[in-house]
Structures are given as structure tokens and as C-alpha cells.
Amino acid sequence: MKRLQQLAFPYIVWSILMLLLPMLIVVFYSVTDSGNAITSFRFTLAHYVRFFTDPDFLIVLWRSLKIALKTTIVSILIGYPVAYFIAGNTDRVRNMLVLIITIPTWINMLVRTYAWIGILTEGGLVSMLLHALGFRNTELLYTESAVLIGMVYNFLPFVILQINTSLCKMDRSLLEASNDLGANRFQTFWRVTFPLSLPGVVSGISLVFLPAVSSFFIPKLLGGGQYFLIGNVIENQFITVGEWNFGSAIAVIMAALMMLSMYLVRHIEERNSQVSES
């Protein structure tokens, strides 16, 4: 045990320096008004009050939560059938399909998002397809729809992989027992398969909602700077405006919301596991 503690010590130090310390600095800036200097400061909660009393920032926060919720719902609606199809194949086909899903994630997310600019622009692949179907004036780029498409595209693989893992771990004898008891395919899916796959669904929701609500470069590229989310506000406060204290306060607020979301996800997972065991 002592040997394991010694081996873990470098990782503990790295975590403190790279994770905990930067977060503490952000929290420090959020409760002071010293600008970029830490030699003279005074504690204040004015930055938090400013955020929650300014309707413009609350609108941006609501917009971020809304687009993250839409992204999560669309990803689940698309990802679950895909994961269900993958899990129903043989091991060889399943591994091949999982590889096809994961290969795009090997490319940098920024590059993949840039590619959608060409696809969604006027005269692009999507525009030509819609025109061929009889739709006119279908401007997609620099709209909320473009941002939603970009987010779903980037985060969808995480949903598919999580749900597929849960489905593959499922005890197949339960399906056979359900069939022996006279349940049809829909009843078997709804009462056996779907409840057992909920841990993967919940994990997929957390892996999509949390990064989507704080994303800044996807709305910046596909929204053309006209669709501002809370991540863009934080970036703007640090880089453009230079108000590090206010930007830090917004970052702390978002971190608190994410930790609350993670706690709720964890609570749901524990409750589902207890129900499954019982």
C-alpha cells in the first residue's frame, strides 16, 4: 500500500498544480476587484450580483442551457437507435461499427467544425440537397440550426459509445426469459432492455450536456459571432474586454452548475443501480 501511495504522489502533485490551483485562482479573481494584479485587492461579490441582475447575461445563460438541452435530446434520439443496432450485431461487425464511429473523433474538433462551414454554406452540400428537394431560401450557416448541427455532430459519438457499452453488458438471458414469459419485442425492449441501458443513457447525457452548455468555438464558427453562448461571454471577458474578475465569476457560476448536474447524474445512476439489483 505504501508503495502504491509513493507511485501516486506525482499524479497528486500534478492534479494540484494543473487542476486545483488554477481553479482556486479563478475563484480568487471572482471575489476580488483587483483587476489583473493580486498585490492589492478587496473582496467583493459585486461580480456575481452583476451577472444575476443583468438581464442580458441571464438571456445568454438561458440560451446556453436551451441549446445544450436540445443537443442532448437530439443526440439521444439519434444515438440510441444507432447504439441498439450496433449492439445487436456479432462481435466482429460490432467492433467495426464502433471503429467507424470513433474514427472521426481522432481528428481535432476544431477542424471537424470548420468542415461544416463548407457543408452548410450557400451552395454547399446541404444547400444543394435542400434545393433539389424543392426548398428555397434555406440559409443554415450562422444560425441556431447550424450551431445545433455542429454540437450534435461533435458530441453524438459519446452518446453512442456509452449506450452501446451498457447494451453489450446486458445479460442476454433476461431477454430470453422475457420471451419465454410471452412478452413481445416492444414489451421486452421497454421493460427489460431500456431500463438496463439507462446507466449508459445517463452517462451519455452528462457527456453531451456539460460540454455543450459551455462550448464557445462551435457557436463562434457556425454562429458567425451572431449566436452568443455563455462560453463566448467568458472568452470575451478574458480576451477582448479584459475583465478577468467578472469573467472568473461567470466561470465559477458555470462550474457550480456543472457540478450540480454531475451530482444529479450520479444520484440517478445510483438509484438505477439499486433498482436493478432489487
Q: Which of 33-37, 41-45, 120-124 has the lowest mean pLDDT?
A: 33-37
Is pLDDT at 277 greater than 70 in this prediction? no
Domain ranges of the chain: 59-277
Q: Give the residue-averaged pLDDT of 130-143.
A: 75
110-119 residue pLDDT tens: 888 888 888 8
Query: Ranked by mean pLDDT, which of 42-46, 72-76, 256-260 comes out on top?
Result: 72-76
Is pLDDT at 64 greater than 80 in this prediction? yes
Q: Output 31 or 127, whichever has higher pLDDT.
A: 31
The residues, ordered by sequence, that sit 6+ positions from 173 with a Cβ below 8 Å of its Cβ are none
The residues, ordered by sequence, that sit 6+ positions from 108 with a Cβ below 8 Å of its Cβ are none
81-101 residue pLDDT tens: 999 999 888 889 999 999 999
Is pLDDT at 72 greater than 90 in this prediction? yes
pLDDT for position 152: 94
Mean per-residue pLDDT of the chain? 84
Give me the residue label for grid cell 420471451.
179
Asked if the 59-277 domain carries CATH number 1.10.3720.10, the reply is yes
Q: Give the residue-averaged pLDDT of 1-23.
A: 75
Q: Which of 92-96, 195-199, 272-276 has the lowest mean pLDDT?
A: 272-276
Radius of gyration over alpha carbons of the chain, in Å?
23
Going by pLDDT thresholds of 50, 70 and 90, the confidence category of residue 9 is confident
147-194 residue pLDDT tens: 999 999 999 999 999 999 989 888 778 877 887 777 788 888 888 888
Is pLDDT at 40 greater than 60 in this prediction? yes
Q: Output 134 or 252, whichever has higher pLDDT.
A: 252
Q: Output 60 or 140, whichever has higher pLDDT.
A: 60
pLDDT for position 274: 62
Say what the alpha-carbon torsion angle 266, 267, 269, 274 is, to the nearest 10 degrees.
140
The burial of 62, by beta-carbon neighbours within 10 Å (0-12 exposed, 13-18 middle, 19 or more buried), is given as exposed
d(CA 174, CA 62): 42
Q: Give the residue-averaged pLDDT of 4-16.
A: 74
pLDDT for position 1: 59
d(CA 161, CA 146): 24
